[in-house]
Amino acid sequence: MSESFNYVIFALMIRRFDFKTPECEDDDTETKLYTKADVNVRKEAGKIAG
């Protein structure tokens, strides 16, 4: 039952809100993958600025 529920929810979200899945993204935008170090740098910058 859990797999069916997840499928229905994700299918609804993708269709209703036009969420992009990894293989169905627009070609004109580039996907950026962040490393843990990138995330930590942004957290530190947020602490200093905030």
Global pTM reads: 0.39
Query: Residue 41 is encoded by which pair of tokens?
Result: 């740098």
Note whether 14 and 21 are within 8 A (CB): yes
DSSP per-residue codes, 5-50 = HHHHHHHHHHHHH-PPPTTS--TTS---PPPHHHHHHHHHHHHHH-
pLDDT for 1-50, tens place per residue?
A: 689 999 999 889 888 888 777 776 666 667 678 899 999 999 988 877 65
CB contact set of 31 (below 8 Å; sequence gap of 6+) = 22, 25
